[in-house]
Structure 1
Amino acid sequence: MLKLYCAVDGELRECNQSKLEDALWVDAIAPSHEEVDLLNKTFKLQLQDVADCLDPNERSRIELDDNYDLLVLRSLIRSAKENGTAQTMPIGIFVTPRNIITVRLIATFSGSDLMADFKKKPRIQNTGDLFLALIRKINRDIDRKVRPMEGQISVLQKAVLSRQMGEIGERAYNLNSELILLNTSLLSNFNAISMIGRARHISFTEDQADILEDLENDVAQLYDMTTIYREIMQNILRAHESAIANNLSSIMKILTSISLILMLPTLIASLYGMNVDLPLQNDPLAFWIIIAITAVAVAFLWLAFKVKKLL
């Protein structure tokens, strides 16, 4: 599917598909073979570059071609922006002197979403403005996913300290997986954005260059945050696993102690089940005497284990 946007009075508005070459932004979402051929003929996009942008595992990078510059970034998909598990998909941003062409497998955001987060919306008048707006949107979506993680980690830390093991396991492992994914994506995004200065087909004004530098710093900050969070989560998981091992050890220690205590009456009962002459066998109170001796022995063992803190 192709969506075309034109800049009208500093705002993006959808325009007719017949104006493909005149559109400021051509957004190709899971394009068909015919649409890919159209992009190839109109903007001379290499088919391999387009195919790379549709590969879910494509890494962030920048490519320079005679006809365009290509920036591939990892973008958070829409279903993962709120409470879902974090997932990212590549988005390829092709820059020509007159147009921005984005190629992606999933619609991670729409044209109206680019400026929806701003009280005072920046104006989009040229490819430089749109290029920065796209990078800003990708970065802000990841930022919204990363910021609440500090509170989630704090809750998990308290749960570990209070030994609420049942509330930690799945949540901790899921959060750690998200952090690994986001941390890896941010690192590749940062490396790609830091090389934008090599681009041939886009130039920035002094203000735009300052915005780009701020965006690069924001990505670096998010990367540092996720790195710290990853280390904290690794400590939480290690503490969780250690607590589980300690609990298992305590349970096994208690079971072993109980087995030893029960072994004594079992041994006495086994001895008096033998068909041989035994002490007290002719005494009418033999049963109660043996029960009393067994009870005293069991009580002594229980007290000894209690003193040794084995129970």
Structure 2
Amino acid sequence: MLNIYKTSNEGKIVEIKDIEENCWINISNPTFEELNLVSRQCKIPFEFLESPLDLEESARVEYDKETNCTLIINDFPIIDSSNQHFHSYITIPIGITLSSNYFITVCNQPSSLIENLIKKNINTTMKSRFALEILLAISTQYIDNLKQLNKQRLKIEKNLRDSLTNKQLYDLMEIEKSLVYFLTSLKANGDVLRKMFLTTSVKLYDADKELLEEVRIENTQGIETTELYTRILSSITGSYSSLISNELNNTMKTLTLFTVFLTLPTLVFSFFGMNVHLPIVAENPFSWVITLIIALLLIMWIGLVLWRRRIV
């Protein structure tokens, strides 16, 4: 899909039909023909438009001397559509290409990130500023999504205190997976921001440098928050793993004690039930009481021994 926007004389972003100078071309889930059209008409390297469509593409800054174009690839978070029962996240790349006359964004799928930028009425003629606004929006989205993940974690932790189920553990695994995606992508984005301070292909004015510093601070905050939540989650899962093991040990201990105490009367009754001469006369009406007393005394003796060893 190909959408073209441009800042009007009133300072608002409006959608236009044809590619013009100083316009913003937003490409999402495109066809080969659309990429080829933009590449030829805007004189943009085809690789700059194709690379961000690869979900495994790493964040980086690349400059092409022949066309005087700069490619910035950053990862941003989206909800994992494969998980229908829980809001977990993955990260996908977005490509930002800056040329002398055009500003181009490329992504594998439509995103609310772009829709929010359209509402902000950013000036499409200020390309460097526009790119920094996108990077700031990406960093801010990480912070917002981290807050959502933390709320879900607190809710799961509260439910775990009442009852422990496999679903809750699976949900914690989804949160942990999301945090891994976030941490990897945020660190890669941080490398891109450091390179942008040094590169000369992206012209930055004093106000742009201040905005870039703000983006860097937001990205650093995202990394620190993700690392903190990861440590907390690891501590929680470790504690509950120990709790599960302890409960299992207590259950096995209880079952073992029941087995011991139920086995002792069986041994006594089996012994006196054998067809051999025994010290108790079979015709004695109190023989069954004597047998029961022997079994109870044996149980009490074993129970006392276990209690002294602090097993019971």
Give the TM-score, by structure 1 length: 0.87
Corresponding position of 1:98: 101
What displacement does 1:208 show? 1.5
What displacement does 1:285 show? 2.0
Query: Judging changes above 3 Å, is the alpha-carbon distance between structure 1 residues 7 and 36 closer, same or farther for their aligned structure 2 residues?
Result: same
What displacement does 1:147 show? 2.3
Corresponding position of 2:145: 145
Letter in 2 for 1:27: N
- Secondary structure in structure 2 of the residue aligned to 1:268: helix
- Secondary structure in structure 2 of the residue aligned to 1:211: helix
What are the residue-to-residue correspondences of 1:139-288 with 2, within 5 Å?
A: 139-154=139-154, 162=161, 164-166=163-165, 168-282=168-282, 283-288=284-289
Corresponding position of 1:301: 302
Q: Report which stretch shifted further, 193-202 or 102-111.
A: 193-202
What are the residue-to-residue correspondences of 1:41-190 with 2, within 5 Å?
A: 41-66=40-65, 67=67, 68-77=69-78, 84-109=87-112, 111-114=114-117, 125-154=125-154, 162=161, 164-166=163-165, 168-190=168-190
Cα deviation code 1:239-283 (max 9, x no counterpart): 111111111111111212222212211211222332222231422
Letter in 1 for 2:110: A
What displacement does 1:37 show? 1.0
Letter in 1 for 2:204: F
Counterpart Cα distance in 1 of 2:163 and 2:178? 22
What displacement does 1:296 show? 3.3
Contact in 2 for aligned 1:96/1:202 (Cα 8 Å): no
Contact in 2 for aligned 1:30/1:104 (Cα 8 Å): yes
Give the TM-score, by structure 2 length: 0.86
Counterpart Cα distance in 2 of 1:11 and 1:124? 10
What displacement does 1:113 show? 0.8
Counterpart Cα distance in 1 of 2:95 and 2:277? 93
Counterpart Cα distance in 2 of 1:159 and 1:304? 40
Contact in 1 for aligned 2:35/2:50 (Cα 8 Å): no
- Secondary structure in structure 2 of the residue aligned to 1:227: helix
- Secondary structure in structure 2 of the residue aligned to 1:77: strand
Identical amino acids, percent of aligned pairs:
23
Counterpart Cα distance in 1 of 2:70 and 2:299? 83
Count of residues paired in the alignment = 303
What displacement does 1:291 show? 1.7
What displacement does 1:155 show? 5.2
Counterpart Cα distance in 2 of 1:125 and 1:304? 87
Structure 1 residue runs of 5 or longer lacking an equivalent are: none
Counterpart Cα distance in 2 of 1:298 and 1:35? 85
Structure 2 residue runs of 5 or longer lacking an equivalent are: none
Letter in 1 for 2:24: W
Contact in 1 for aligned 2:24/2:124 (Cα 8 Å): no
Contact in 2 for aligned 1:78/1:108 (Cα 8 Å): no
